[in-house]
Amino acid sequence: MKYLKSLCWIAASLFACQNLYANAESETLGCASVAEIEIEARTVLTTAYSHGEADHLKYGKKNAIGTPLRYGKIRSAAADWSRFPLGTRFRLVSDPDTLYVVDDYGSALVGKETIDLYKPTMSSMRKWGMRHVEIEIVKWGCLIESLRILKPRATKARHVRRMVWAIQKRINALGNLNS
């Protein structure tokens, strides 16, 4: 069943990536779904980051796609886009009223099932620390859009090359299943 769910979100990413930025006001970040995929729960390690951290200062309050980092009912999160593609939407089971959207990535996250939650202050970031939490994936993001954004950046950073390679590997695996 786990394999089938992974296959479903890869297929949705491959065949239905569209309208990523079509309606920013209604917060549509992600691929159009081929079909509704049931909510998937899993436990992940979460950490926190802030725009005030030394390694984030050059980006200011912007995420990897150049839009403002969000903190409210909808919040920004960073992850390895080969594991949690751009636009992946999830909720913390302990905070079901807040929706997180993967719109950022970080070098320390590549190759890990860790999600970095955006916090607007250094004190709230430190207060969060590192926690294992249960999340519910509401909607998977888009591998194709993740790849489109990452590919031009791959020559500049090793961690981006690693994500590009992992995304291409997943896409190729799906192609081989259809052969």
Q: What is the mean pLDDT of each run of 10 residues along the chain (179 residues)?
A: 45 42 33 54 96 70 93 97 96 97 94 96 96 97 94 89 93 71
Supply the CATH number for residue 71's domain: 2.40.40.10
CA distance linking residue 147 with residue 95, whole number of Å: 30
Domain count, the chain: 1
CA distance linking residue 55 with residue 99, whole number of Å: 25
* DSSP-assigned letters across all residues of 18-56: --TTTTGGGT--SPPPSS----EEEEEEEEEE-TTSGGG
Query: What is the value of pTM for the model shown?
Result: 0.77
Q: Which domain holds residue 138?
A: 2-177
pLDDT of residue 18: 40
pLDDT of residue 55: 67
